Structure 1
Amino acid sequence: MPDSAQNRKPRTGVAALTQAGDGDFSVIEAIGGPRGVVESMLPGFVFVVMFVVTSDLRLTVMVSAILAVVQVLTRLVQRQSVMGALSGLVSVAICLVWAWHSHEARNYYMFGFITNAVYILLLGISLIARVPGLGLVVEFIRSLPTEHFHDWFRGWMDDKPLKRAYMTITALWVGVFALRLLVQVPLYLSDQVAWLGTARLLMGIPFWALAIWVSYLIVATPMHRHRELERAAQQDTADGGSRQKDAADC
């Protein structure tokens, strides 16, 4: 069943696209709000600045780790949602451990390379299979298929404008992930930590926000049309049930 009005609260990341076409979309909210942006970028910013200034990997790792933990504790003290901060903490922890274990600051960014490559592989396969990966994710979040999976799947896959939009934004995100690797991997191989860190920051949240905004522009109209068709179908079903009940009462 499609999401109802009372469930339309601000969502972040790809989940924000479930609200496309309903007038509730916000790029700022989609990337976590101002605080979420700061919390996402600060550990990476501190890491690259600390290492460039001190050239001390141990100190850099310690300061970055403390900062990440403080962010989570601050949310706990303020009794705010900590899920985003916790996921960020886990990601930062993996990056820091990788850099610490290898004794190379540039390996702080290795986990990001791997995740981008995995996204490219999965989304690329979905494009080849003509089942757009982002469409699967958005529709799964928008209307969880707890039953009648075939009807749920065919419901949006058979909507040609909507499927075309999902194919387009899936290809767009493959391009974003590929561009990150194209720019950043050569900097990693040449051990240019300062430039690599700068590129990672610039191609992180800013690229993320741009990709979500463009995706919204592509998906909004076909998704709005799809929702209208869903509502019409539900109304027809409800009207049919009422007529059958009236006939049975006669």
Structure 2
Amino acid sequence: MTSLDKPTEDAHKDSRAVTEAALFEAFGGVRGMVETVLPGLLFVTIFTINKDLHWSAIAALGVSLLLVVVRLVMRDTIKHAFGGVFGVAFGVVFAMMTGNAKDFYLPGMLYTLGLAMAYIITTLAGVPLIGLILGPVFKENLSWRTRNPGRKKAYAKASWAWGLILLAKCAVLFPLYWWADTTKFGWVLVALKIPPFLLAVWLTWLFLVKAPAPIDVFAEMEAEEKAEKERKAAAPSAE
């Protein structure tokens, strides 16, 4: 390896590390996945055992609230767990209203379908949703739209991946919602929670790690503010 190759390799490693950290922050990492799966898993497990909608719903909602409390006690971010509480609460209310345990999963399925369409529509509109989500995490905000075309292209590819993967998931789940019984449907849904998500995150990482580095707009603003202060400080002495 030559001395010229080493900086390039180091920069590539830094890019990988930054991308991995940003994705971990944005999507919650392992803990976020556990918080996503656990309520639904508990619901279908209890329902499989005793076919009691009320106890299944109470257990799912209870564990969701417990996850929020744990994060609060640990002074950790609650956005992933708190979002899970709302999702579970909607599912519980919907299932209780209809009396059909399968409807516990319907709000989440509709959300998944809506999210899939949002990824596709925003990409077609030239503002891919994954870029809107990850832009602030990478401290680039919307600079990728006009100043970093290679990065915009990577965000478009990633958004297409998310949209198509979520649509494929919906194509499996919605027919099962009508045809399968609650227990079988619940276990299939739980099984499909993580693999599509991991595939979408991996493809996002793959596209972004090969893309140009993000433009740190916060660093640019700080540099501009510093330069402005220096110009003002130098102005009286120049006179």
TM-score (norm. length: structure 1): 0.72
Which of structures 1 and 2 has the larger relative contact order (alpha carbons within 8 angstroms, sep 6+)? Answer: 1
Paired position in structure 1 for 2:56: 60
User: Which 5+ residue runs of structure 2 have no aligned equivalent?
Assistant: 1-13
CA apart distance, 1:79: 4.4
Secondary structure at the counterpart of residue 135 of structure 2: helix
Structure 1 residue 129 and structure 2 residue 125: aligned?
A: yes
Cα 1:53–1:71 change in 2 (3 A) is same
Paired position in structure 2 for 1:5: none
CA distance in 1, matches of 2:210, 2:108: 33
Match among 143, 146, 159 for residue 157 of structure 1: 146
Match among 17, 26, 39 for residue 23 of structure 1: 17
CA contact (8 A) 2:166 2:196 kept: no
TM-score (norm. length: structure 2): 0.75
Residue identity in the other structure for 1:112 = G
CA apart distance, 1:115: 1.0
Residue identity in the other structure for 1:209 = L
Structure 1 residue 192 and structure 2 residue 186: aligned?
A: no
Cα 1:38–1:134 change in 2 (3 A) is closer
Structure 1 residue 35 and structure 2 residue 31: aligned?
A: yes
CA distance in 2, matches of 1:242, 1:82: 41
Paired position in structure 2 for 1:4: none
Residue identity in the other structure for 2:113 = A
User: Which 5+ residue runs of structure 1 have no aligned equivalent?
Assistant: 1-19, 146-151
User: Structure 1, residues 218-247: CA drift from partner, whole Å, max 9, x if none?
Assistant: 0123242x549x989x989x99x999x79x
Match among 115, 118, 128 for residue 119 of structure 1: 115
CA contact (8 A) 2:91 2:106 kept: yes
User: Structure 1, residues 175-206: CA drift from partner, whole Å, max 9, x if none?
Assistant: 11101110100110114323322232232233
Secondary structure at the counterpart of residue 211 of structure 2: helix
CA apart distance, 1:171: 0.6
CA apart distance, 1:78: 4.4
Identity over aligned residues, as a percent?
24
CA distance in 2, matches of 1:29, 1:144: 15
Say what the alpha-carbon RMSD is for the aligned residues.
3.6
Residue identity in the other structure for 1:50 = I
Paired position in structure 2 for 1:86: 82
Alignment length (residue pairs): 222
CA apart distance, 1:111: 0.8
CA contact (8 A) 1:31 1:208 kept: no
CA distance in 2, matches of 1:74, 1:132: 34
Match among 28, 43, 46 for residue 47 of structure 1: 43
CA contact (8 A) 1:31 1:205 kept: no
